[in-house]
């Protein structure tokens, strides 16, 4: 999975990254989905260990164009995990209270505690994506935010948080198909937002904004992964593989039981 990790200081051109890539599986959907099920089982066990030990913290950031698959990723990759130790935070337009503080104020409140996995469905990166594309603040303001984000994430990492950031990479044709499916399927129509069509017209501007994010904020302590996401099963596989390997590398162990339990008799 290291092929998808963005090295610090990279010069990413998203047009050169194939959103249909399925390296190692050659489009074998059945084998890929079987691997995801296997990874789900491993993730369940690792997350239970993480929650029991209450030592490490995991922050997962999901960013994508509209219809990029963030919701589907959360449903599929985290199926079966203990909900007591996982929470999802979705960041939409700031409330008046949130807007009266610095842009990271609302973000910090949702970061994980010990033993927790926090999943950000969109994130603090909206303040260098939407804000940039729509010119909601002056350029000299949002330009400073890359460095501010890096410092913020470095602080979290220094405090014991493992950070994984995933950009779900789809192409414009795939987005069109998914938006059309939302219109055509009565069970998905509630997800359709006409505002997505206006945002779609700004595709190139968003691609440039994402390239800047990937180039400026993929660090050793908070790496970005560019995930080929045209195929849902492969998207899920890449993210699950990275997450499981990361958790397996953490020095985790179940807490030692209270002394004398071997003498306890339950009548």
Encode 181-246 in three state secondary structure: HHHHCCCCHHHCCCHHHHHHCCHHHHHHHHHHHHHHHCCCCCCEEEEECCCHHHHHHHHHHHHHHH
Name the token pair of 264: 């306890």
Scanning the chain, the segments in alpha helix (DSSP H) are 29-53, 70-77, 96-99, 105-108, 130-133, 139-158, 172-184, 195-200, 203-217, 232-249
pLDDT, residue 256, reads 84
pLDDT, residue 27, reads 80
pLDDT, residue 261, reads 79
pLDDT, residue 36, reads 96
pLDDT, residue 194, reads 87
Residue 169's CB: how many other CB atoms inside 10 A?
26
167 φ/ψ angles, rounded to the nearest 5 degrees = -100, 115
Give how far the C-alpha of residue 258 lies from the chain's centroid of Cα atoms, to the nearest Å: 37
Question: Which overall architecture, per CATH, does domain 2-251 show?
Answer: 3-Layer(aba) Sandwich (3.40)
Cβ–Cβ < 8 Å for 153, 221: yes
Per-residue pLDDT for 116 more than 80? yes
Per-residue pLDDT for 266 more than 90? no
Cβ–Cβ < 8 Å for 116, 57: yes
Per-residue pLDDT tens digits for 129-140 = 999 999 999 999
Per-residue pLDDT tens digits for 233-254 = 999 999 999 999 999 999 999 9
Higher pLDDT, 189 or 62: 62
pLDDT, residue 88, reads 97
Average pLDDT, the chain: 96
Where does residue 170 rank: exposed (0-12), middle (13-18), buried (19+ CB within 10 A)?
buried
Q: What is the rounded distance in angstroms from the CA atom of residue 198 to the CA atom of residue 196?
A: 5
Per-residue pLDDT tens digits for 174-233 = 999 999 999 999 999 998 988 899 999 999 999 999 999 999 999 999 999 999 999 999
Per-residue pLDDT for 15 more than 80? yes
Q: Is 68 helix (H, G, I), strand (E, B) or coil?
A: coil
Q: Listing from the earlier edge strand, what are the strands of the sheet with 117-121?
A: 86-90, 117-121, 57-64, 161-169, 224-228
Q: What is the pTM of this model?
A: 0.95
pLDDT band at 157 (very low <50, low <70, confident <90, very high): very high
CA dihedral (2, 3, 5, 9) positive or negative: positive
pLDDT band at 257 (very low <50, low <70, confident <90, very high): confident
Per-residue pLDDT tens digits for 72-109 = 999 999 998 999 999 999 999 999 999 999 999 999 99
Q: What is the rounded distance in angstroms from the CA atom of residue 46 to the CA atom of residue 128?
A: 33
Distances (CA, A) of 61 to 107, 111, 121, 168, 224: 11, 11, 7, 10, 9
Residue 23's CB: how many other CB atoms inside 10 A?
12
Per-residue pLDDT for 259 more than 80? no
pLDDT, residue 20, reads 97
Where does residue 204 rank: exposed (0-12), middle (13-18), buried (19+ CB within 10 A)?
exposed
Per-residue pLDDT for 42 more than 80? yes
């Amino acid at each position: 999975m290291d092929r998808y990790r963005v090295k610090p200081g990279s010069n990413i051109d998203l047009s050169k990254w194939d959103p249909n890539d399925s390296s190692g599986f050659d489009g074998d959907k059945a084998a890929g989905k079987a691997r995801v099920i296997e990874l789900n089982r491993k993730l369940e066990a690792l997350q239970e260990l993480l929650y029991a030990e209450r030592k490490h913290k995991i922050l997962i950031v999901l960013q994508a164009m509209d219809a990029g698959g963030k919701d589907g990723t959360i449903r599929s990759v985290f199926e079966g995990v203990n909900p007591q130790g996982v929470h999802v935070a979705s960041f939409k337009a700031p409330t008046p209270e949130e807007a009266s503080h610095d842009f990271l104020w609302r973000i910090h409140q949702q970061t994980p505690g010990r033993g927790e996995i926090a999943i950000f469905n969109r994130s603090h990166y909206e303040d260098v994506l939407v804000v940039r594309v729509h010119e909601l603040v002056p350029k000299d303001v949002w330009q400073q935010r890359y460095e501010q984000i890096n410092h913020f994430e470095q602080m979290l990492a220094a405090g014991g948080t493992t950070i994984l950031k995933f950009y779900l990479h789809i192409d414009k044709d795939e987005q069109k198909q998914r938006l059309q499916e939302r219109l055509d399927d009565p069970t998905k129509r509630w997800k359709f937002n006409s505002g997505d069509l206006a945002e779609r017209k700004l595709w190139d501007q968003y691609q440039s904004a994402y390239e800047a994010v990937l180039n400026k904020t993929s660090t050793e302590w908070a790496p970005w992964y560019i995930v080929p996401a045209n195929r849902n099963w492969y998207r899920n596989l890449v993210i699950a593989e990275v997450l499981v390997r990361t958790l397996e590398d953490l020095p985790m162990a179940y807490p030692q039981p209270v002394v004398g339990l071997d003498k306890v008799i339950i009548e």
